[in-house]
Structure 1
Amino acid sequence: MSSLMSSMLPLMLSSSSSSATKFSGLRLRHLSYSLRYLLLNDKPIVATNLPIRCCTTTSRKTTTSPDKWYSLRNKLVDNNHRQDFDDKRYETLWSWNVITGLLVWLGLMEDNEEDPLIKIIKNGLRCMHLEEYEKAELILHSGLQMAQDLQHESAEIYIYDVLANNYFMKGDYKRAEPLFAVVFNRLLAKGMPPNDESLVEISIKLSHIYSNLSDFDKSQMGFDFSLSEQYQRVKSFVAKSVDELVSEEINSLALLGMCYDYYAKHLSSIGNFDSAIDTYKKSLDICIKVNGRTHPQTLVLLNDMSATYVHKKDFANAVICLKRAIEGAIETDDENLAKYYLNIGSVYLLQLNKELALKWCQRSLSTTLTSKNKPIEDKARKCLTEATGL
């Protein structure tokens, strides 16, 4: 039984590990906060004839990753990667020329002539959205060189931040950590308050990085700071319904949810499963409030909570969480449905329940054959093989 559990746990943890590599899309709004702070009174970028590296893309379908925190319901999403905005939109007073192109790309402004540096940053962000992290790195480094040639410090800080997020999403924490530290210190040096939400979010990501690098003292300090500051920020309106909140309050609440989510992952990784589940529940409550019960991030949180229940060998609650995730995934045609089928099949396999393990792993396989998800297909076949042998 113990060997079986050790072989199946990686399947249950697949969504958590995936979200750890993609969480820079979690609430990337902090980039907008940083830019607004940095750039209101900064000098404009002068157009140059420096060469531009473009990200060549195919007609590949881009889908929203469920491993990300989207800040606002009704598709009011993060100010970085998505174009499908709905009724509420940020009103900006930013005067710096470089942000104009990003707002155009995000669908918030009319198209205008764009500076070459803007185009480079946009192409880098687009590649990140497509999970083409190596391409994004090359493009952003060319943009960094241009910003340094122009001696534009704020553009340089912004690109450092995007590069850090690129490494973070890729799971390359050793390269992300020093870049986030550079951005953090430079923003402080420019006068940003230590409890600004931009710095709180960077602190969360650094805490997650330190946790993954087993530097638990630094990780705990960062989480303590982030949770304390963000709860103080939202406590006056946390009990209100979402319809009573303005956009900035919803974003602040989403950031607190993100704090809880990462902290729950940390607690689970160090074996504090009871506290991890309590913290996941706080994150889940906020996510449902902000995004709704069938939002991709809500489903991912349910899946991740189920993995923690599996660690506790509380299989009944693990199944409850996964069934909720599956119901939401079916309702919304979520791209992770096959993964949730696989995970619930894996739970039944751990319980040596041959009939139900075969049922759910077969559903996973059938779904992957339609969606052409080869990694999950291989795991579903393995699950079926092991279930058949029970």
Structure 2
Amino acid sequence: MAAVPRALSRLRPRPCPAVLRPCPAGPRGHRGQRGGTTGTGTATALARPRWARPAGAALAFLGGLSLFPRDAEEEEGEDAIILLLKKAKMANVAFMQGQLDNAEKLYKASMSYLLAGDMKEDDNAILEMSLKLASIYAAQKQDKLAIAGYQFCILTLEEKIAKQKDLPEDVLPAEEKANTRLLLGMSLDSYARYLLSVNQLPAAQKMYEKALQIANDVQGETHPQTVVLMNDLATVLDAQGHHDEAYSYVKRAAELARETQHPEEHMVLNNLAAILMHKEDFLQAKQVYKEALKQAQQKGDVASVQHIQEELAELAKRRKGSK
């Protein structure tokens, strides 16, 4: 059986200009980290998720910050802010370099300092760092902490957005409301990728649907991130055997990728070809694979070149077996 289409690496929006700006959701690792599912499942009815707050979710997730109390000898005022920004920068560097244990400690230290001051748990800076921690726990296979972290971020942001919805512009600017919605979209996207990696496909689908809706509403259909999410939703639909629905999403993603010169157009085309193969449209699949291979070679994407060549070989076997 051919591998299912792969989720793309992220092209992240930078959401809100809060106190700290950690990089957006999820340690991405290398290009091979794009889903991790195999095979297809049975069709599942779609439903919008109604999350129930897990007992003590905030306490369970943020409680560990007591391990990192403010140092009594730390500077106050401007020096304290400089120290805090340094910690946040170090945390981001460690995170991007895959030094997850170090990044976890630095994020916790930064959050502990902020929460010991006057910053609330639902501040976007706290929630971005909480999202990073959830991604770290997911990478470390600490599933209970990862799930608690993702759900804490999503539930808190949903409640915050509901409260902000009717606030006038002079009280809360539209840009700030949009930033909070983007942060929710990032949280949903990151949680969806985690759910996909542990083969919880219907749940991942629901998270991708919500993330895609936010991206469409806030950034528009042609935004690079919207195209990525469209592709990723197609991935999880295809993995469940919903090939026609998957095709409609990935076909539109491919059209938008071409129109906007998306840097990962070849990967979208690869997914389109895989879904065409699952639909047994072998001739069209071969044409699309060849175009994806040509673009991957031009861009020097060695991993994608190898993957597409393997799928072309699989396509040849399937065509031969269907005769």
- TM score, norm. by length of structure 1: 0.60
Instruction: State the SS of the aligned residue for 1:389.
Output: helix
1:154–1:282: structure 2 CA closer, same or farther, 3 Å change rule?
A: same
Letter in 1 for 2:121: P
Question: By how many angstroms is 1:337 displaced?
Answer: 0.6
User: Who is 2:109 aligned against?
Assistant: 182
Question: By how many angstroms is 1:363 displaced?
Answer: 1.1
297-306 vs 203-212, which moves further: 203-212
Match of 2:6 among 10, 13, 33: 13
User: Who is 2:211 aligned against?
Assistant: 283
Whole-angstrom CA distance in 2 between matches of 1:234 and 1:181: 25
Question: By how many angstroms is 1:68 displaced?
Answer: 6.4
Question: By how many angstroms is 1:373 displaced?
Answer: 2.9
User: Who is 2:303 aligned against?
Assistant: 375
User: Who is 2:56 aligned against?
Assistant: none
Question: By how many angstroms is 1:334 displaced?
Answer: 0.7
Residues 187-226 of structure 1 correspond to what in structure 2 (within 5 A)?
A: 187-226=114-153
Match of 1:328 among 246, 251, 256: 256
Instruction: State the SS of the aligned residue for 1:33.
Output: coil
Is residue 269 of structure 1 aligned with residue 262 of structure 2? no
Question: By how many angstroms is 1:201 displaced?
Answer: 1.3
Letter in 2 for 1:214: K
Whole-angstrom CA distance in 2 between matches of 1:176 and 1:259: 18
Whole-angstrom CA distance in 2 between matches of 1:197 and 1:209: 18
Is the contact made by 2:7 and 2:231 (CA closer than 8 Å) also made in structure 1? no
Whole-angstrom CA distance in 1 between matches of 2:277 and 2:105: 42
Match of 1:27 among 14, 39, 51: 14
User: Who is 1:317 aligned against?
Assistant: 245
Is the contact made by 2:195 and 2:201 (CA closer than 8 Å) also made in structure 1? yes
Whole-angstrom CA distance in 2 between matches of 1:363 and 1:217: 42
Q: Deviations over 1:185-225 (max 9, x none)?
A: 12222332222111011111211221222212112222222
User: Who is 1:360 aligned against?
Assistant: 288
Q: Kindly, what percent of the aligned residue pairs are identical?
A: 25
Aligned CA RMSD, in angstroms, stands at 3.1
1:35–1:371: structure 2 CA closer, same or farther, 3 Å change rule?
A: closer
Ranges in structure 1 where 5+ consecutive residues have no aligned partner: 37-66, 70-146
Is the contact made by 1:26 and 1:68 (CA closer than 8 Å) also made in structure 2? yes
Residues 27-46 of structure 1 correspond to what in structure 2 (within 5 A)?
A: 27=14, 29=16, 32-34=17-19
Letter in 2 for 1:373: D
272-281 vs 376-385, which moves further: 376-385
User: Who is 2:68 aligned against?
Assistant: none
Is the contact made by 2:192 and 2:208 (CA closer than 8 Å) also made in structure 1? yes
Question: By how many angstroms is 1:172 displaced?
Answer: 4.4
Match of 1:162 among 89, 96, 99: 89
Question: By how many angstroms is 1:184 displaced?
Answer: 1.4
User: Who is 1:297 aligned against?
Assistant: 225
Is the contact made by 2:231 and 2:250 (CA closer than 8 Å) also made in structure 1? yes
User: Who is 2:41 aligned against?
Assistant: none
Is the contact made by 1:68 and 1:297 (CA closer than 8 Å) also made in structure 2? no
Q: Deviations over 1:275-329 (max 9, x none)?
A: 2212211111111111110110001111211221232122222222211111111
Ranges in structure 2 where 5+ consecutive residues have no aligned partner: 26-73, 319-323
Whole-angstrom CA distance in 1 between matches of 2:142 and 2:201: 19
Letter in 2 for 1:381: Q
Is the contact made by 1:201 and 1:255 (CA closer than 8 Å) also made in structure 2? yes
Whole-angstrom CA distance in 2 between matches of 1:358 and 1:234: 45
Question: By how many angstroms is 1:157 displaced?
Answer: 2.1
Match of 1:344 among 272, 287, 290: 272
1:238–1:285: structure 2 CA closer, same or farther, 3 Å change rule?
A: farther
Is the contact made by 2:15 and 2:179 (CA closer than 8 Å) also made in structure 1? no
Whole-angstrom CA distance in 1 between matches of 2:222 and 2:303: 24
Aligned length: 264
Is the contact made by 1:238 and 1:253 (CA closer than 8 Å) also made in structure 2? no
Higher RCO by CA contacts (8 Å cutoff, separation 6 or greater):
2
362-371 vs 349-358, which moves further: 349-358
Letter in 2 for 1:323: K
Instruction: State the SS of the aligned residue for 2:18.
Output: helix
Is the contact made by 2:20 and 2:88 (CA closer than 8 Å) also made in structure 1? no
Whole-angstrom CA distance in 2 between matches of 1:368 and 1:346: 16
